[in-house]
């Protein structure tokens, strides 16, 4: 394999508990291939545009650093929410990116992220092809939302699902401790804008919620109140898992009812508060004492309950992305194929980024059961292998140790 230049990797979008495992895999593949300089983008493509570049060989000096990196939450290199503009009319942005790559002799560009990040890979590879550039661009899948197409599942989802199943099991045990002497409802709000994969993971624990609501089907407030009231006739403690992105029949987000919706950097409506809204609804309309908890960013940063399967697959995805880029591949994303779920056997390949970017995969409707209030055994069979296995943290003074940038 003839190495023609240096390699750089960036992390983008919301972090996951295993995004740094992908970084570790890409770094070790590039190092093993003899790449002279292995760079990291400090704060993704946004940092790169400001030449905020890290020498990764100075940060990852030995195997102990790499091992600790895989146990470190958040994005080690820093992330961003910057979306590249379309090529037409914004050529100066792309010329700046390529001029920086040429300045640092960067021939291989890896980007680790979700839908919008894969769009970045697509546009950069398109621009390179249109203008006769030789640099190679590869995407590494990452999202706890599990909504990237083509790949069977996304690195990051398994660990978030493991956290949800684990925490819900504990929360349900806590909610049931008062027995028949106190009737109450607990709404657990889980991430998921249009895809309910994470909320569906609530069904993976030993203790399971009474109802599960995903954004793939319309939410009926009256039916919701009726169902909870019926459940309280049989048991005193009701636990309900809801996606933050559940919508009414008219397409409006439930969380936006009675409030002005805010937008994020990509123009997406910011979602939060659906749990509180539903808890207040139960109290007002059914007289049930109700409260809500929001898992929020804890779902994506809980490396203390990371899935070993997920971490290993994230590492392998990063490793393959670097290998393929060094072999000359460009404009593709690494995908995971499951050959068998029992026993669990996977393989890896790459796929045209144009079939991936800006395409969102949702939970199959046939996996949503009980009139839209639960998930099927097929989902459990799909997701169960992804949360298997544990990786022990390295502890010091009673808390896990993490790797931090020296610069």
Report which of 82, 84, 76 is spatially closest to residue 15, judged by C-alpha positions: 76
Report which of 56, 30, 43 is spatially closest to residue 321, judged by C-alpha positions: 30
Phi, psi of 291 (to 5 degrees): -145, 170
Q: Do residues 358 and 268 touch, judged by C-beta distance below 8 A? A: no
**Cα 44 from Cα 336, distance rounded (Å):** 24
Catalogue the active-site residues.
145
Environment class of residue 49 by beta-carbon count within 10 Å: exposed (0-12), middle (13-18) or buried (19+)? middle
**CB neighbour list of residue 379: distance below 8 Å, 6 or more residues apart:** 200, 203, 363, 367
Helices (H), 86-145: 91-103, 115-130
Q: Do residues 100 and 51 touch, judged by C-beta distance below 8 A? A: yes
**CA 120 vs CA 10, 193, 362: distances in Å:** 11, 21, 22
């Amino acid at each position: 394999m003839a190495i023609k230049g240096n390699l750089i990797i960036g992390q983008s979008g919301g972090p996951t508990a295993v995004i740094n495992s992908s970084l570790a895999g890409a770094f070790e593949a590039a190092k093993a291939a003899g790449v002279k300089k292995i760079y990291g983008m400090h704060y993704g493509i946004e940092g790169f545009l400001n030449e905020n570049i890290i020498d990764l060989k100075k940060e990852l000096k030995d195997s102990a650093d790499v091992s600790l990196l895989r146990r470190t939450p958040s994005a080690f290199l820093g992330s961003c929410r910057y979306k590249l503009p379309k090529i037409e009319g914004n050529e100066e942005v792309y010329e700046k990116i390529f001029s920086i790559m040429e300045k640092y002799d960067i021939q291989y560009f890896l980007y680790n992220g979700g839908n919008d990040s894969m769009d970045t890979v697509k546009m950069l590879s398109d621009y390179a092809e249109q203008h006769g550039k030789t640099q190679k661009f590869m995407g590494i899948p990452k999202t706890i939302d599990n909504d990237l197409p083509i790949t069977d599942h996304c690195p990051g989802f398994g660990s978030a699902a493991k956290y949800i199943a684990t925490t819900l099991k504990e929360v349900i045990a806590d909610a049931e401790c008062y027995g028949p002497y106190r009737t109450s409802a607990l709404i657990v709000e889980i991430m998921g804008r249009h895809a309910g994969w994470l909320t569906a993971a609530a069904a993976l624990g030993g203790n399971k919620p009474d109802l599960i609501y995903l954004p793939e089907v319309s939410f009926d407030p009256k039916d919701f109140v009726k169902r909870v009231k019926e459940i309280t006739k049989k048991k005193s403690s009701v636990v309900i898992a809801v996606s933050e992105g559940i919508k009414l029949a008219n397409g409006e987000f439930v969380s936006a009812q009675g409030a002005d919706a805010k937008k994020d950097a990509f123009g997406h409506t910011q979602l939060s508060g659906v749990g509180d809204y539903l808890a207040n609804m139960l109290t007002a309309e059914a007289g049930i004492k109700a409260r809500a908890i929001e898992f929020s960013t804890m779902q994506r940063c809980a490396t203390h309950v990371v899935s070993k399967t997920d971490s290993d697959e994230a590492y392998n995805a990063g490793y393959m992305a670097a290998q393929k880029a060094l072999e000359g591949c460009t404009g593709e994303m690494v995908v995971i194929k499951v050959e068998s779920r029992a026993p669990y056997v996977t393989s890896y390949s790459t796929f045209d980024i144009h079939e991936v970017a800006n395409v969102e995969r949702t939970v199959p409707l046939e996996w949503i059961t009980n009139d839209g209030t639960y998930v099927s055994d097929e989902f459990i069979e799909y997701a169960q292998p992804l949360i298997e296995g544990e990786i022990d943290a390295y502890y010091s003074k009673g808390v896990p140790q993490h790797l931090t940038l020296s610069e």
